[in-house]
Chains A and B, each alone.
Chain A
Amino acid sequence: MQPVAGFSQPAKAAEFPILGYHPLMRILVIEDDATVADYIVSGLRESGHTVDNADDGREGLMMATTEEYDAIVADRMLPGVDGLTIVRTLRASENHTPILVLSALGEVDDRVKGLKAGADDYLAKPFAFSELLARLDALLRRGQHEAVQVTRLQVMDLEMDLLSRVVTRSGQPIELQPREFRLLEYLMRHAGQVVTRTMLLEAVWDYHFDPQTNVIDVHISRLRAKIDKEFEQTLLHTVRGAGYRLGERPQTA
């Protein structure tokens, strides 16, 4: 049993939340596999978040309904109550905490079922920790400006008109291939956040896996050549070990 939610140990080294990520979330992790749970929990704590951990579904559901969390990470297969039931139960009781469902690799139908049940994202095990962190961050931000229908995106002097499909930077038009347009659109919608290669592959190419190759980097560098090359300030940054981020250059202290 973990201590009562909210009183778990404070993160040891939270003075420097990793740049680009949303700082200090309260996260509930419902995972029965001790090794995976430890991987997630210690990783999140290292990143400065407050984490509660439940190792079976019933306990997890109870904690999720009685406490307030910024996000929930739930395994699909759990003893007691399974992950999807937790999602359905929370949604039925008007609880809209962002939920990320974890599942074993290769269970395609789980993704569909998970999202249908009301989960916000889905991640196949095994995953890199940076992947989980980026996705949780994205979930949280989505929660913040939900339901805003936009026709124009803007990041600094980079502008995108989603209707006329025109992209300009400092007023200069930029020619983009359709795929590059979608790539940039996704990055702009997640401006300021870390976006992993897997997230890009999912959103832009509709395949769900960790590419493990530099194939996405090549597309990024082409896009970077088009939007950044002739400008003094670069917008598209590589985040070491995780992915990319569009936005202001992070200040290194």
Chain B
Amino acid sequence: MGLFAVSALVMLAFVYWSTIGYMSSQTDSTIEAEIKGLADTYRRGGLQSLTGLVNERMRNDPDRTMLYLFATPDYKPLGGNLPAWPEAIPAGEGWVNFPFTDNGTDSTARGRIFGVSGNLRLLVAMDIADLQATESLLMKAYLWGMALALVLALLGGALMSASVTRRIEVINQTSREIMSGRLHQRMPLKGTHDEFDQLASNLNDMLEQIDLLVESVRHVADGVAHDLRTPLTRLRSKLERLSIGPGLDASARKELDRCIDEADGLLQTFSALLRIARIEAGRHEASLVEVDLLELAADACELYQASAEDQGVTLSYEGSPVTLNGDRDLLFQALINLIDNALKYAGSGEVTLEVGKDQRSIFLSVTDQGPGLSEEDRQRVTGRFFRGADSAKISGSGLGLSLVQAVAGMHGARLELENANPGLRITMRFLADEAVG
């Protein structure tokens, strides 16, 4: 914007100087030519011819466009159309500007002094009032133009930056959405093929690339899980056959049983990974049915009541019946994973399930009274294999919340983690326009 204003100023200044320069050089060369003519006449015919020519010129020029003045060496006027030798004009040759009075109006003239024999001087000048008028007109135009350019620059700049800001904001907004987990979102294109469209389409290509990488990493992980299951199952059944076979003492059998348990744990982890992969890759639209979340919560409470009692935890649910279209089994599994998690990490106290609905969303939350999670852990907790800070003594594969996340994603729900002071609240929030039937 500043650059635009400056360049406009430079351009106007150039027009100004070149116009004025051209006009004053025109004046100068007219005077130059006149002096040359007069000098030729003087050289050929002497002073007589010169005065004759000057007198003739003055007669033919009643408007006094050219000014002439003969003067003695001490500047006494001898003849011409100027009343007196202007003050402040030095004797030497060269260009002079001087004020004079033209029919009662003050004006300015420009001219040269031409030395004639006997130390007489002839001043040849031109009224440059017109030139000066033009000059001041141009200056005025220049100033106005400058002001106008500045205003236009400011206005245009503001408009341009507003539109730039708007488009950048669109990109920002989309980036935030992508970071919040909607990985398949893409930057909108305006179809104008300008720099912003190029930026957006480059960003989209980049996201595509990232998607591909994530996808392939996932693929590798799932492929490994898939491929290892067969030999692991084989290994497990061999171990089992060994352990129930003859000729083993008690301690060897115990070791074998421990191996089998290890294999079972691995198999279960692989199964969980594959299950998550299935959900994430799934095509599930057809299998959604109407599910009452409150009923789900009640069933989950009933199922977990015994476990909770064993741990000295009070498990309860509250809310009102809300239905949405979903996969009943997977939602239930997600819910029991959340409860399981709450029981595991919360220690004792209360675990509360809440089902409800507000204007924009339907929610299902599980709140515990445990130590909660740090901000940092809350960000990482849904990643595969994440385990809480002191989870060494707590069993589990670290895939529980990944599965919840996958189920939430499949239902277009967001997973929100917040501090319940004390404790942790995990909420599955189904946005009204996406999941509700």
Name A residues whose Cβ lies closer than 8 Å to a Cβ of B: 13, 16, 18-19, 35, 38-39, 42-43, 46-47, 104-110, 125-129, 179, 205, 207-215, 218-219, 222, 240-241, 252-253
Contact = CB atoms under 8 A, between A and B. Distances in A.
A125 B327 CA distance: 15
Interface of B: 226-227, 229-230, 233-234, 236-238, 240-241, 244-246, 257, 260-261, 263-264, 267-268, 271-272, 274-275, 278-279, 282, 284, 286-289, 299, 302-304, 306-307, 310, 327-330, 332-333, 336-337, 340, 397, 400, 410
Contact of A107 (B244, B287, B410): B287
B279 A218 contact: no
Contact of A108 (B230, B240, B329): B329
Contacts of B282: 104-106
Given A18-B237, A35-B226, A253 B245 contact: yes
A157 to B, nearest CB: 26
A18 B240 contact: yes
Given A46-B238, A213-B337, A241-B261, 8 more contacts: A108-B328, A126-B274, A129-B229, A129-B267, A207-B328, A209-B329, A209-B330, A218-B310
Contacts of B257: 240
A240 B340 contact: no
7 contacts: A16-B241, A42-B234, A105-B330, A205-B299, A213-B400, A240-B260, A253-B244
B128 to A, nearest CB: 95
Nearest to B327: A106
B147 to A, nearest CB: 70
Given A35-B227, A108-B328, A213-B336, A219 B306 contact: yes
A170 to B, nearest CB: 26
A212 B286 CA distance: 26
Nearest to B340: A213
B333 A105 contact: no
A127 B286 contact: no
A5 B12 CA distance: 97
Nearest to A223: B306
Contacts of A39: 229-230, 233
Contacts of A211: 333, 336
A60 B21 CA distance: 101
B271 A210 contact: yes
Nearest to B245: A16
A43 B327 CA distance: 30
Main secondary structure of the interface of B (DSSP, over half): helix
Contacts of A215: 303-304, 307, 336, 340
Contacts of A210: 271, 275
Contacts, number: 128
A43 B271 contact: no
B230 A106 contact: no
Nearest to B232: A129
The 7 closest A-B pairs by CB, nearest first: A126-B274, A241-B264, A108-B287, A105-B278, A218-B307, A213-B340, A209-B333
Contacts of A209: 329-330, 332-333
Contacts of B306: 218-219, 222
A123 to B, nearest CB: 12
Nearest to A207: B332
Contacts of A127: 271
B330 A212 contact: no
A169 B267 CA distance: 37
A109 B303 CA distance: 24
Contacts of A109: 286-287, 289
Residue in B263, B268, B303 with the greatest tally of chain A CB atoms within 10 Å: B303
A18 B234 CA distance: 13
Contact of A43 (B233, B287, B310): B233
Residue in A38, A42, A126 with the greatest tally of chain B CB atoms within 10 Å: A126
Residue in A38, A129, A219, A253 with the greatest tally of chain B CB atoms within 10 Å: A129
A62 B410 CA distance: 38
A134 B202 CA distance: 53
Contacts of B288: 108
Contacts of B260: 240-241
A128 B279 CA distance: 17
B230 A42 contact: yes
A108 B244 contact: no
Contacts of A16: 241, 244-245
A207 B295 CA distance: 12
B237 A19 contact: no
Given A35-B226, A179-B302, A240-B260, A107 B241 contact: no
Contact of A207 (B236, B279, B299, B410): B299
A42 B261 CA distance: 21
Nearest to B234: A46
Contacts of B303: 205, 215, 219
Nearest to B399: A212
A46 B400 CA distance: 31
A46 B272 CA distance: 23
A76 to B, nearest CB: 12
A125 B278 contact: yes
Nearest to B267: A128
B226 A110 contact: no
A180 B208 CA distance: 52
Contacts of A218: 306-307, 310
A108 B327 contact: yes
